[in-house]
Amino acid sequence: MAKLTVEIVTPEKRILSVQADEAIVPGGRGLFGVRPGHTPFLSLMEPGALTLIESGRRESYFVAGGFVEVGNDKVLVLADAAEPVTGIDVEGARRRMAEAQERMKGMSSEDARFELEQATVRREAARIGAASSARA
Amino acid sequence: MASLRDIRKRIRSVKNTRQITKAMKMVSAAKLRKAQDGILAARPYATMLDQIIADLAARAGDESLSHPLLMARPVKRVELVLLTSDRGLAGGFNSNVIRRANRFLYENTNLESIRLSTVGRKGNDFFRNRGQNIRKDFGGLYQRLNYRAAADVAEELVASYLNGEVDAVHIVYNEFVSAISQTVKVAQLLPLQTLGTPDQAPTAGSTSLVDFKYEPDRQSVLDRLVPQAVNIKLYRALLESVASEHGARMSAMENATSNATDMIGSLTLTYNRTRQAVITKELMEIVSGAEALK
């Protein structure tokens, strides 16, 4: 059976380039799975866990939002940041989330930085979620 | 003529200087290698992003793609961002950027206003000392140069473009050509000009242009792609600037080291000549002294 070529790149470096049977991606409208022969499309990506399945083995990566392009059995993941879930620093993520929440307390929702902080909270929450799903 | 002791002192001091320039050269060489790796590592993402945008533009065909950051408007107010380094001793690295920026100010006097902002201490010092108003100094960027930090700067610039404070944003920086060669470049950051080249054939998913799907829809994807492209453009300019800085410093220190070596050579020659002259003189004195006793 044909295989998918999955590439995860971030602005700072290429994280990974592998073959896989299936990829499960946190899309803009929930998780979606990609298998070889998938119709070509371009999607936004939300912070969350991206799972690759290769001969029955699952491997998960945390991705911090970005884009996914699917076509010709290729999955290009352009993430703002990415890391293997096994390497997630949960304590650090908790701390960053708490700090962002702390900063948000004094802000009104119109504040220019409000959205940014909100994005941080969402991202760190997704990171923690990705880490715990890997352990479960 | 300088005394032997003076020359010896000079030689020692030049040797110390050479030691320092040599060490700085080596440090710069190591940092340059790291910076070059950074440029290479950033390349795949940038190429893919460009490709995706180009594909999107190609597939759109006649339907126009609109995004505020792509739309040029009459340019009255401009912001110029200088990318210099925090440290000196890098040859013409900083002065080239400053000179280019000055030329830009001089050539564009027909504009209503040009605002300056700076990344790096050197450019900031120069214009502040001359009483130029600097809107913002993005200081400390080099201590933690990563994508996020660059994106923060880019987002700030985008915001002032969108709310109409400025009609265009240009950056002046050193483009990295090679370890020994850098060229100063003025690039337009906003409005974004490069929306891919439409003649380029789309790669991924090129087989079925009609069926191509966007999730959630094309405009939303474009709305995220365009600012991202701006961020990346600035991030890459910063990486190039950092690599150029180390390259420039490396060649400057290389020159300084070889100049010091030349200087030590000529000082040593003078030293030996003087020493010889002193010996000759002493000999003459002894001989003439002995002659007088006869």
**What is the value of ipTM here, to two decimals?**
0.85
| A43 with B221: Cβ contact below 8 A | yes
Quick one: B181 and B273 in the same domain? Answer: no
Nearest neighbour of B216 by CB, restricted to A14, A44, A112: A44
- CB burial readout B88-110, b (16+ within 10 A) else e: eebbebbebbbebbeebbeeeee
Q: Does A92 touch chain B (CB under 8 A)?
A: no
Domain coverage including residue B233: 31-250
Chain A partners within 8 Å of B220 (Cβ): 28, 44
Residue of B nearest to A42 (CA): B214
Residue B44 has pLDDT above 50, yes or no: yes
Quick one: B118 and B176 in the same domain? Answer: yes
**B152, B153, B155, B156 alpha-carbon torsion, rounded to 10°:** 120
Q: Does A96 touch chain B (CB under 8 A)?
A: no
Beta strands in B4-85 (DSSP E): 77-83
Average pLDDT, chain B: 88
Single out the residue of B125, B163, B136 nearest to residue B80, CA to CA: B136
- pTM of the predicted model as reported, rounded to 2 decimal places: 0.86
Chain A partners within 8 Å of B239 (Cβ): none
Neighbours of B212 (CB within 10 A): 20
State mean pLDDT over B8-18. Answer: 95
Nearest neighbour of B48 by CB, restricted to A40, A76, A81: A76
Quick one: B14 and B88 in the same domain? Answer: no
Neighbours of A47 (CB within 10 A): 23
Residue B157 has pLDDT above 70, yes or no: yes
Q: Does A42 touch chain B (CB under 8 A)?
A: yes
What is the Cα B16 distance to its own chain's centre? 29
3-state secondary structure (DSSP) of residue A39? coil
pLDDT of residue A121: 87
Chain B partners within 8 Å of A11 (Cβ): 42, 45-46, 147, 231-232, 235
Quick one: B272 and B195 in the same domain? Answer: no
Q: What is the CATH number of the domain that holds B105?
A: 3.40.1380.10
User: Does residue A49 contact residue A69 with C-beta atoms inside 8 Å?
Assistant: no
Quick one: B50 and B185 in the same domain? Answer: yes
Strand-pair partners of B80: B116, B170
Quick one: B125 and B21 in the same domain? Answer: no
- Interface A–B counts its CB contacts (< 8 A) at 98
Question: How many Cα atoms occupy the beta-carbon half-sphere of B197 within 13 Å?
Answer: 4
| B213 with A12: Cβ contact below 8 A | no
Quick one: B222 and B91 in the same domain? Answer: yes
Quick one: B207 and B264 in the same domain? Answer: no
Quick one: B10 and B121 in the same domain? Answer: no
Q: Does A43 touch chain B (CB under 8 A)?
A: yes
How many domains is chain B partitioned into structurally? Answer: 2
pLDDT of residue B134: 87
Question: How many Cα atoms occupy the beta-carbon half-sphere of B52 within 13 Å?
Answer: 30
Quick one: B69 and B100 in the same domain? Answer: yes
Burial of B53 (0-12, 13-18, 19+ CB in 10 A): buried
In tens, the pLDDT along A22-78 reads: 999 998 888 889 999 888 889 999 998 999 999 888 889 999 889 999 988 899 999
Kindly report the nearest CA distance between residue B236 and chain A, in angstroms: 9
Q: The tokens 């059995």 sit on which residue?
A: A73
Kindly report the nearest CA distance between residue B141 and chain A, in angstroms: 16
Quick one: B158 and B135 in the same domain? Answer: yes
Task: Give me B215's structure tokens.
Answer: 């999730």
User: Does residue B29 contact residue B250 with C-beta atoms inside 8 Å?
Assistant: yes
| A13 with B42: Cβ contact below 8 A | yes
State the Cα–Cα distance between residues A121 and A108, nearest whole angstrom. Answer: 16
Residue B201 has pLDDT above 90, yes or no: no
Q: What is the CATH number of the domain that holds B276?
A: 1.10.287.80
Residue A1 has pLDDT above 80, yes or no: no
Quick one: B257 and B232 in the same domain? Answer: no
Task: Give me B216's structure tokens.
Answer: 């959630």
